[in-house]
Structure 1
Amino acid sequence: MTTVQSPAAPVAAIRPKVVARTGLYAVLAANVAVVTYFFVQAGFASNALIVLGRLAGLYGALLMAFQLVLVARLPWFDRRIGMDRLTLWHRWIGFSLLWTLLAHAVFITFGYADSSGLDPVNQLVDLAETVEGVLRAVVALVLIIVIGTVSARFARRRLAYETWHFIHLYTYIAVVLAFSHQVAVGTTFVASPVATGYWWTLWTVALGSVFVGRLVLPLWRNWRHQLRVSAVVPENDNVVSVYVTGRDLDRLPARAGQFFLWRFLTRGRWWQANPWSLSAAPDGRSLRLTAKAVGDGSAGLRHLKVGTRVFAEGPYGAFTTMHRTRPDAVLIAGGVGITPMRALLEELHGHAVLIYRVTTDQDAVLYDELRELAHAKGAELYLVTGPAEPDRLSKAELARLVPDIAERDVYLCGPPGMTRGVLRSLRELGVAKAQIHHERFSLAG
């Protein structure tokens, strides 16, 4: 194959992902310190259980605010960390929040019961009836327990995304109820004007982030760009590409490797949001998504009519060339995971090797485009076919196809089983973690 090398892209000295992650950790640690300081400044109750309960409640409030920032889909963090990892952090912090708030309720109830001589159940009832805001806090805790239960892995797998998402929206009710409880009876909230200002600022930033990232920014971008379907092109019997055009698309900050949450505004589809990657690098004139028919949402794409209005949230994802660490790259795709790789290959500089894993030649979506693009870019393209067995992309096979793989960035996208197998092979080949880029294109972990 004749190769024409593109100039290598400059590699950042400090990884954007490290900067963003360190920034989030630093902000959380600083706020923990501030909350602890205000707690100590407010003074201690005579009962140790009440002291522990109040401290757990304050940390729970802080975690709840941090949770909102993680799911606000703020572009700066999303481009550097990725929605999948932010969602994973949100999940684990959510379980920490649940246990923290349970500890708050248990310690407070038993602490006051110890002082009053009532049993814990009657003490909780007495607090709910006599202390302003406690009943609202109990309702908030019940909502968070329900949400935590349906978010557990065993339950999440049994729920449709729309059902899970609807239940999860009650989190915002729980947040409002918990905040009103804090305002009503929070000792440290009213300990000083500085403490009061701090908590109001914290909650304003957290709720404001959600309002801007989840509502204002998507509405603004869709009003500005006026997206519509311009063409629907079947790629084979169960894969279809949809072309979308609009106004001023050169000002839409989308990059190859990212995805949108697509809503096609027809009678039966407007409420469905599906995460589909761009299958071509954005050129400022149109966007293209390519999807396999695996459910009602994707199967109905081929029936879309030209001119259909589109509401797209995004772009989202850190699966981009922003995170390059080496001049050359390897792209490993499985099945319809080729779609973001097709776009990345178009944008990548430096020498690239694309390994495309499918069951049969007929499953190789966009293969003609890939061959033409690889030839134009001077890239190497390998089509690996056969049954879905782990050894098809084993350590030995990857080393044979790309002998210098440990010196390259590796972009990986495919079915979970293939992804796990390839990640294991990459570790055995000595590919540094910082050089491996993979992302789940999904709405929830």
Structure 2
Amino acid sequence: MARAGLYGLLAANAVVVAVLFVRAGFGADALVLLGRLTGLYGALLMAFQLLLVARLPWLDRRIGMDRLTLWHRWTGFALLWTLLAHAVFITCGYAGMSSLDPVDQLVDLAETVEGVLRAVVALALLLVVGAVSARRARRRLAYETWHFIHLYTYVAVVLAFTHQVAAGSTFTASTAATAYWYGLWGAALTAVLAGRVVLPLWRNRRHRLRVTAVVPENDHVVSVHITGRDLHRLPARAGQFFLWRFLTRDRWWQANPYSLSAAPDGRGLRLTVKAAGDGSAALRGLRPGTRVFAEGPYGAFTALHRTRPDVLLVAGGVGVTPIRALLEELHGHAVVLYRVTAEADAVLHDELRRLALARGAELHLITGPPVPDRLAPAELARLVPDLTDRDVYVCGPPGMTAAVLRSLRELGVPRRQIHHERFSLAG
């Protein structure tokens, strides 16, 4: 229902933009008109982007942060191409009327028309963000570097909005158009302010989180224990994650996504992290008493979306952290499949074994190289004969998660019973 609502909201606003564009009139060159229309839809997509990244609890609980992030990625590329089309159409249209070449025309517009230079800077920033978000570049960048560059998107948003106010003829074509665009941008910016500034500041002021212990699990994995005030009022569930900011002198500005590795009990929180970048590697050196600023909880990978009484939990590598937390909270019979390359890589395995024994769950540790696939359809059906009668939760590296999802579809597990979170840098 929430997904349909978002699609419906975008479609309804697309119709409104088209109506306002038509009502503004067509007294211009065809290319200029196309440029204006693509610019308007670029503005709409930018506002929609803000809603997707606002981290509003209502949307997150129903859709999940990983799916919202995926939509944000594809909307971002659509936005980039739309704004490029806007720039090309506008520049070429005015160049055709003035007999200047497109480059000279763009320079002339930037020098003579208020707001155009800001738009050029905004587009350049978005091109840089788009380039570092491409898969090949993203894999080579540390999460911290990528996140820092991505923050320049907000600068681009401000510049683009002021450009629309200054140079957008459709923006001022009528009182209704002006009210619509101010209302759209106001709602989008209010959502971001509420979800990403006001709510995190209020929760952290209320709970005052601090590190109480740092426990190495093996040479590459560490668990961080955190406590605070009134944690029973923090609406966190097993399977969710936070964006953690540890307020040390050299790391206070970095926020990293890590899942809870134990079900919240109202007294403390725990995250278990594998060293995958500078931020995660530095956690081993945290000292008890370090202040913590946490944004969240986020994610729909929880028991709230269960449809069946029994469950299958599939974990890969350190993706076991939300699975271990879920096992602690879920009711009904559970089967846990834990996939690792070698037994030494099985983080929290002893905890899982004790927890499975206490809750009457089945635990299977599956070891070996990625090929052959030890979670292929035949093997899954052998290990869990009643698979189609269970909810299935999957969390692990992207390759493993994709393979398990293919196996589940091949075995006929209904889509509504499959819950997955794509795991890469988050612990």
TM-score normalised by length of structure 2: 0.94
Tell me, yes or no, if structure 1 residue 289 matches structure 2 residue 289: no
How far has the Cα of 1:284 moved from its partner?
Answer: 0.9
Counterpart pick for 2:122 among 118, 121, 140: 140
Give the equivalent residue in structure 2 for 1:47: 29
Instruction: Name the structure 1 match of 2:7.
Output: 25
Distance 2:367 2:198 in 1: 45
- The structure-2 alpha-carbon separation of the partners of 1:442 and 1:314, relative to structure 1 and needing over 3 Å to count, comes to farther
**Worse-matched range after superposition: 252-261 or 225-234:** 225-234
Alignment of structure 1 residues 268-287 onto 2, 5 Å: 268-287=250-269
Q: 1:144 to 1:360 in 2, by over 3 A?
A: closer
Aligned-pair CA distance for 1:437: 1.2
Q: Distance in 2 between matches of 1:270 and 1:180?
A: 31
How far residue 69 of structure 1 moved from its aligned partner, in angstroms, is 1.1
Which whole-Å deviations, capped at 9, do the CAs of 1:26-71 have from their partners, x for residues lacking one? 1101110111111111111242112111111100110111111111
* Maintained 8 Å contact 1:275/1:441: no
User: In structure 1, what is the Cα distance between the partners aligned to 2:70 and 2:326?
Assistant: 24
CA distance in 2, matches of 1:102, 1:294: 35
Corresponding residue number in structure 2 for 1:79: 61
Compared with structure 1, are the counterparts of its residues 48 and 381 closer, same or farther at alpha carbon in structure 2 (3 Å cutoff)?
A: same
Which deviations, in whole Å up to 9, do the C-alpha atoms of 1:401-421 show, x marking residues without a partner?
Answer: 110101211111122332222
| Cα pair 2:213 2:226 within 8 Å, conserved | yes
Q: Deviations over 1:272-300 (max 9, x none)?
A: 32221111111111111112334443333
Q: 1:259 to 1:205 in 2, by over 3 A?
A: same
The reply to whether residue 208 of structure 1 matches residue 190 of structure 2 is yes
Aligned ranges 1:195-344 → 2 under 5 Å: 195-344=177-326
The offset of 1:443, in angstroms, is 7.3
Q: Give yes or no for contact 1:278–1:287 (8 Å, CA) kept in 2.
A: yes
Give per-residue Cα distances to partners, 1:178-198, cap 9 Å, x unaligned: 111111121221111121111
> CA offsets, 1:287-328, max 9 Å, x none?
111123344433333332222211111111111112212221
Structure 1 position 162, deviation (Å)? 2.4
* Compared CA separation, residues 387 and 102, structure 1 to 2 (3 A): closer
Partners of 2:251 and 2:101 in 1: how far apart?
53
Question: Matched residues in 2 for 1:212 and 1:419: separation?
Answer: 33
Question: How do 1:345-424 and structure 2 match up within 5 A?
Answer: 345-424=327-406
Q: Which has the higher contact order (CA 8 A, sep 6+)?
A: 1
Q: Which amino acid aligns with 2:354?
A: E
Q: Using a 3 Å threshold, how does the CA distance of structure 1 residues 127 and 268 change in structure 2: closer, same or farther?
A: closer
CA distance in 2, matches of 1:159, 1:187: 40
Secondary structure of 2:392's counterpart equals: strand
SS in 1 for 2:6: helix
Q: Distance in 2 between matches of 1:142 and 1:31?
A: 26
1:96-122 Cα distance to aligned partner (Å, 9 max, x none): 111111111121222222233333233
Q: Is 2:125 the partner of 1:113?
A: no
Change (3 A) 1:382 1:193: same
For residue 93 of structure 1, report the CA deviation from its aligned partner: 1.1
Could you tell me which residue of structure 2 aligns to residue 125 of structure 1? 107
Cα separation, 1, equivalents of 2:142 and 2:341: 28
Secondary structure in structure 2 of the residue aligned to 1:118: coil
For the 8 Å contact 1:275–1:442, the answer to whether it is kept is no
**Unmatched runs of 5 consecutive residues or more in structure 1:** 1-18
- Residue 84 of structure 2 aligns to which amino acid in structure 1? L
Q: 1:364: how far off?
A: 2.7
- AA of the residue aligned to 1:181: H
1:427 aligns with 2:413: no
- Change over 3 Å in CA distance of 1:117–1:225 after alignment to 2: same
Q: Tell me by how many angstroms 1:234 deviates.
A: 2.8
**CA offsets per residue over residues 134-181 of structure 1, 9 Å max, x none?**
222222222222222222222222222222222222222221121111
Q: Which amino acid aligns with 1:284?
A: G
Give the distance between the partners of 1:37 and 1:335, measured in 2 at CA.
Answer: 52
Distance 2:252 2:237 in 1: 25
User: What is the match of residue 184 of structure 1?
Assistant: 166
Aligned partner of 1:425: which letter?
Answer: S
Question: Could you tell me how far apart the structure 2 residues matched to 1:163 and 1:421 are?
Answer: 29
| Contact preservation (8 Å) 2:395, 2:423 | no
Residue 393 of structure 1: SS of its match in structure 2?
Answer: coil
Amino acid at match of 1:235: E
Amino acid at match of 2:144: E
Structure 2 vs 1, CA of residues 272 and 122 (structure 1 numbering), >3 Å: closer, same or farther? closer
Mapped partners of 2:155, 2:174: distance in 1: 27
Larger CA deviation: 182-191 vs 22-31: 182-191
Q: Find the residue that maps to 1:254 and give its secondary structure.
A: coil
- Over 3 Å counting, the alpha-carbon distance change for 1:272 and 1:118 in structure 2 is closer
Aligned partner of 2:79 in structure 1 is: 97
> Does structure 1 retain, via aligned residues, the 8 Å contact 2:243–2:258?
yes
Relative to structure 1, is the Cα distance of residues 30 and 424 closer, same or farther in structure 2, using a 3 angstrom cutoff? same
Alignment partners' CA distance in 1, 2:150 and 2:347: 36
Q: How many residues align?
A: 426
Q: Does the 8 Å CA contact 1:249/1:284 hold for their aligned counterparts?
A: yes
Which residue number in structure 2 is paired with residue 159 of structure 1? 141
Q: Secondary structure at the match of 2:169?
A: coil
Q: Is the 8 A contact 2:171 2:178 kept in 1?
A: yes
* Aligned-partner SS, 1:40: helix
> In structure 2, the residue corresponding to 1:337 is in which secondary structure?
helix
